[in-house]
Protein backbone atom coordinates (compact mmCIF):
# COMPACT_ATOMS: atom_id res chain seq x y z
CA UNK A 1 0.00 0.00 0.00
CA UNK A 2 1.16 3.38 -0.74
CA UNK A 3 1.81 5.87 1.90
CA UNK A 4 -0.97 8.16 0.66
CA UNK A 5 -3.53 5.42 0.97
CA UNK A 6 -2.42 4.64 4.51
CA UNK A 7 -2.88 8.30 5.53
CA UNK A 8 -6.35 8.47 3.94
CA UNK A 9 -7.31 5.24 5.71
CA UNK A 10 -6.08 6.61 9.08
CA UNK A 11 -8.11 9.80 8.62
CA UNK A 12 -11.25 7.85 7.78
CA UNK A 13 -10.85 5.62 10.85
CA UNK A 14 -10.30 8.67 13.10
CA UNK A 15 -13.42 10.37 11.73
CA UNK A 16 -15.52 7.24 12.31
CA UNK A 17 -14.25 6.95 15.88
CA UNK A 18 -14.98 10.64 16.59
CA UNK A 19 -18.55 10.33 15.27
CA UNK A 20 -19.14 7.24 17.36
CA UNK A 21 -17.70 8.85 20.49
CA UNK A 22 -19.86 11.97 19.99
CA UNK A 23 -23.00 9.84 19.74
CA UNK A 24 -22.10 8.06 22.98
CA UNK A 25 -21.59 11.37 24.81
CA UNK A 26 -24.98 12.70 23.64
CA UNK A 27 -26.64 9.54 24.88
CA UNK A 28 -24.91 9.81 28.26
CA UNK A 29 -25.89 13.52 28.59
CA UNK A 30 -29.53 12.67 27.88
CA UNK A 31 -29.47 10.04 30.64
CA UNK A 32 -27.89 12.49 33.11
CA UNK A 33 -30.38 15.20 32.18
CA UNK A 34 -33.38 12.98 32.82
CA UNK A 35 -31.84 11.70 36.06
CA UNK A 36 -31.16 15.29 37.17
CA UNK A 37 -34.74 16.31 36.37
CA UNK A 38 -36.00 13.36 38.45
CA UNK A 39 -33.84 14.53 41.38
CA UNK A 40 -35.25 18.12 41.24
CA UNK A 41 -32.10 19.68 39.75
CA UNK A 42 -32.70 21.83 36.70
CA UNK A 43 -30.34 21.41 33.81
CA UNK A 44 -31.65 24.73 32.46
CA UNK A 45 -28.80 27.25 32.31
CA UNK A 46 -31.20 30.23 31.91
CA UNK A 47 -31.60 33.08 34.41
CA UNK A 48 -32.94 32.35 37.89
CA UNK A 49 -35.33 34.64 39.75
CA UNK A 50 -36.22 35.26 43.40
CA UNK A 51 -39.50 36.63 44.74
CA UNK A 52 -39.29 40.15 46.23
CA UNK A 53 -41.10 40.35 49.59
CA UNK A 54 -40.22 43.91 50.62
CA UNK A 55 -38.65 47.13 49.34
CA UNK A 56 -37.55 49.96 51.70
CA UNK A 57 -36.32 53.25 50.21
CA UNK A 58 -33.04 54.45 51.74
CA UNK A 59 -33.12 58.22 52.20
CA UNK A 60 -30.37 60.73 52.82
CA UNK A 61 -30.98 64.19 54.29
CA UNK A 62 -28.69 66.99 53.17
CA UNK A 63 -28.55 70.47 54.71
CA UNK A 64 -27.43 73.28 52.42
CA UNK A 65 -27.75 76.44 54.55
CA UNK A 66 -28.37 79.59 52.57
CA UNK A 67 -28.35 83.28 53.35
CA UNK A 68 -31.63 85.18 53.00
CA UNK A 69 -31.54 88.99 52.89
CA UNK A 70 -34.20 91.70 52.88
CA UNK A 71 -34.33 95.49 53.10
CA UNK A 72 -35.77 96.99 56.27
CA UNK A 73 -36.69 100.65 56.89
CA UNK A 74 -35.34 101.90 60.21
CA UNK A 75 -36.76 105.15 61.66
CA UNK A 76 -34.71 107.11 64.19
CA UNK A 77 -35.67 110.23 66.12
CA UNK A 78 -32.82 112.55 67.03
CA UNK A 79 -33.29 114.43 70.29
CA UNK A 80 -34.13 118.14 69.93
CA UNK A 81 -31.22 120.57 70.01
CA UNK A 82 -32.52 122.30 73.15
CA UNK A 83 -33.42 119.32 75.33
CA UNK A 84 -33.83 121.39 78.48
CA UNK A 85 -35.98 124.00 76.71
CA UNK A 86 -33.84 126.85 78.05
CA UNK A 87 -34.95 129.28 75.34
CA UNK A 88 -38.67 128.77 76.09
CA UNK A 89 -38.09 129.07 79.84
CA UNK A 90 -36.00 132.24 79.45
CA UNK A 91 -38.42 133.94 77.07
CA UNK A 92 -41.40 132.96 79.28
CA UNK A 93 -39.63 134.32 82.39
CA UNK A 94 -38.86 137.64 80.71
CA UNK A 95 -42.40 138.04 79.39
CA UNK A 96 -43.92 136.97 82.73
CA UNK A 97 -41.64 139.33 84.64
CA UNK A 98 -42.61 142.24 82.40
CA UNK A 99 -46.28 141.49 82.84
CA UNK A 100 -45.88 141.09 86.62
CA UNK A 101 -44.03 144.36 86.77
CA UNK A 102 -47.12 146.08 85.36
CA UNK A 103 -49.22 144.96 88.34
CA UNK A 104 -49.23 146.68 91.75
CA UNK A 105 -46.72 149.01 93.31
CA UNK A 106 -43.87 148.94 95.86
CA UNK A 107 -43.18 145.58 97.41
CA UNK A 108 -46.25 144.14 95.69
CA UNK A 109 -44.78 145.13 92.37
CA UNK A 110 -41.59 143.19 93.13
CA UNK A 111 -43.56 140.15 94.22
CA UNK A 112 -45.72 140.38 91.11
CA UNK A 113 -42.59 140.64 88.91
CA UNK A 114 -41.00 137.58 90.54
CA UNK A 115 -44.25 135.61 90.37
CA UNK A 116 -44.72 136.69 86.75
CA UNK A 117 -41.15 135.60 85.89
CA UNK A 118 -41.59 132.19 87.58
CA UNK A 119 -45.00 131.60 86.03
CA UNK A 120 -43.86 132.86 82.63
CA UNK A 121 -40.75 130.64 82.74
CA UNK A 122 -42.85 127.59 83.51
CA UNK A 123 -45.40 128.46 80.79
CA UNK A 124 -42.61 129.09 78.26
CA UNK A 125 -41.01 125.73 79.10
CA UNK A 126 -44.31 123.88 78.55
CA UNK A 127 -45.06 125.75 75.31
CA UNK A 128 -41.63 124.91 73.90
CA UNK A 129 -42.02 121.26 74.98
CA UNK A 130 -45.31 120.95 73.08
CA UNK A 131 -43.84 122.47 69.92
CA UNK A 132 -40.42 120.91 70.04
CA UNK A 133 -39.96 117.64 68.11
CA UNK A 134 -36.85 115.63 67.44
CA UNK A 135 -35.68 115.25 63.89
CA UNK A 136 -36.99 111.99 62.40
CA UNK A 137 -34.74 110.20 59.90
CA UNK A 138 -35.42 106.99 57.97
CA UNK A 139 -32.76 104.74 56.53
CA UNK A 140 -32.93 101.46 54.67
CA UNK A 141 -30.75 98.73 56.13
CA UNK A 142 -29.99 95.33 54.59
CA UNK A 143 -30.70 92.53 57.10
CA UNK A 144 -29.44 89.01 56.40
CA UNK A 145 -29.87 85.71 58.21
CA UNK A 146 -28.87 82.12 57.56
CA UNK A 147 -31.67 79.58 57.18
CA UNK A 148 -31.50 75.81 56.90
CA UNK A 149 -32.28 74.41 53.49
CA UNK A 150 -32.71 70.66 54.01
CA UNK A 151 -33.63 68.23 51.30
CA UNK A 152 -34.20 64.48 51.36
CA UNK A 153 -33.50 62.19 48.44
CA UNK A 154 -33.64 58.45 47.88
CA UNK A 155 -30.13 57.01 47.51
CA UNK A 156 -31.06 53.32 47.17
CA UNK A 157 -33.46 50.53 48.11
CA UNK A 158 -33.08 47.74 50.65
CA UNK A 159 -34.69 44.77 48.86
CA UNK A 160 -35.79 41.63 50.77
CA UNK A 161 -36.26 38.55 48.60
CA UNK A 162 -36.78 34.81 49.04
CA UNK A 163 -34.67 32.30 47.11
CA UNK A 164 -34.73 28.56 47.82
CA UNK A 165 -36.74 29.22 51.02
CA UNK A 166 -34.17 31.66 52.48
CA UNK A 167 -34.90 35.37 52.94
CA UNK A 168 -32.03 37.69 52.07
CA UNK A 169 -31.56 41.46 51.79
CA UNK A 170 -29.57 43.41 49.22
CA UNK A 171 -29.22 47.15 48.58
CA UNK A 172 -30.01 48.18 45.00
CA UNK A 173 -30.01 51.50 43.18
CA UNK A 174 -33.59 51.01 41.94
CA UNK A 175 -36.89 49.40 42.98
CA UNK A 176 -36.76 45.94 41.36
CA UNK A 177 -40.48 45.22 41.25
CA UNK A 178 -41.93 41.74 41.99
CA UNK A 179 -38.82 39.62 41.41
CA UNK A 180 -35.06 39.89 41.03
CA UNK A 181 -32.67 37.90 38.91
CA UNK A 182 -30.08 36.01 40.95
CA UNK A 183 -26.75 34.46 40.05
CA UNK A 184 -24.80 31.60 41.55
CA UNK A 185 -24.00 32.46 45.15
CA UNK A 186 -27.54 33.90 45.49
CA UNK A 187 -26.71 37.49 44.57
CA UNK A 188 -29.47 39.68 43.19
CA UNK A 189 -28.29 41.21 39.94
CA UNK A 190 -31.19 42.97 38.23
CA UNK A 191 -34.89 43.53 38.17
CA UNK A 192 -37.53 41.60 36.27
CA UNK A 193 -41.06 42.91 36.53
Q: Which residue has better confidence, 103 or 16?
A: 103
pLDDT digits (tens, 9 = 90+) for 124-165: 778 877 777 667 888 898 999 998 888 899 999 999 999 888
pLDDT digits (tens, 9 = 90+) for 11-46: 767 666 666 655 555 555 544 444 443 434 444 567
* Predicted confidence (pLDDT) at residue 4 exceeds the cutoff of 60: yes
DSSP 186: T
For position 88, what pLDDT does the model report? Answer: 72
Mean of pLDDT values over 98-104: 75
For position 62, what pLDDT does the model report? Answer: 86
* Predicted confidence (pLDDT) at residue 81 exceeds the cutoff of 60: yes
Mean pLDDT of the chain: 75
DSSP 40: T
Amino acid sequence: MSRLMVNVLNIAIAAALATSLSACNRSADAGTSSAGADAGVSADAGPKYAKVVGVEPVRSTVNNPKQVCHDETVTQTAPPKDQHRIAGTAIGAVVGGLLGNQVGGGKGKTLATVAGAVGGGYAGNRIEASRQHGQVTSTVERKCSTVNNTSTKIVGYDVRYIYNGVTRTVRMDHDPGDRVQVQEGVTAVSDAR
